[in-house]
Amino acid sequence: IIESKSFKLYLNSLNQTPFADTASLEATLRQDLSAAAGKAVGVRIRSLKDVEREGIVALPGTCIDDLDISVDSYAHPRPELLRCDASRIVEQSLHSHLLKSNCPVTSQPDWGSVAVEYRGAALDPASLLAYIVSFRQHSDFHEQCVERIFLDLQ
C-alpha cells in the first residue's frame, strides 16, 4: 500500500517536469508505483474535459489551458505579461485549471482553478494563461493570489 501523503509528495516531485505526452507520464507513474507497491499497478490519466463530460460541473466560459505559450520565469507573478486590445470591448468568460502557488507556511504546492468573467477591453487569452502560470513558484495562499489577479486585471 502506498500511503496518501507519500503519494502526494511523489506527485508533487514531478511538478514542472516536462513529458512528451500523457502516455509518457502514465508509463513513468506505472513504473514508479509498481516498484513502490511491489506489484504491477495500472495507471490511466483522464483529462478534466473527460471528467466534465461525465457530469462534474465545469467552470464557465472557455478553458485556456491548451494554448501554446512560453514562460521562462516562475519566480513571481508577472502582470506585465497581460495584454488586451482596448479597441475591442467584449463580454467573455475564461478559465484555467493551472493556477499553482506554494503554501507560505509549509511550502507545499497548492493547485487550483481560476475563472475570469468580465466586460471590457478584449483580454488576450494566451497572455492571461502565461500570467497565471507565472505564479508557479510564488508563496501565497490562493485567496491572496486570486485577489492579486483581480487587482492586476483592473
Which domains, and CATH codes, for the chain? 4-45 (no CATH), 59-153 (3.30.1130.10)
110: annotated active-site residue: yes
- In the residue annotation, 145 being an active-site residue is answered as no
Write out the chain's pLDDT in tens, 154 residues: 888 888 988 998 998 899 999 999 999 999 999 999 999 999 999 888 787 787 777 888 999 999 999 888 788 899 999 999 999 999 999 999 999 999 999 888 888 999 999 999 999 999 999 999 999 999 999 899 999 999 999 9
> One of 32, 65, 110, 152 is an active-site residue; which one?
110
Strands across the sheet with 109-123, in order? Answer: 62-63, 84-102, 109-123
The Cα 63–Cα 113 span in angstroms is 10
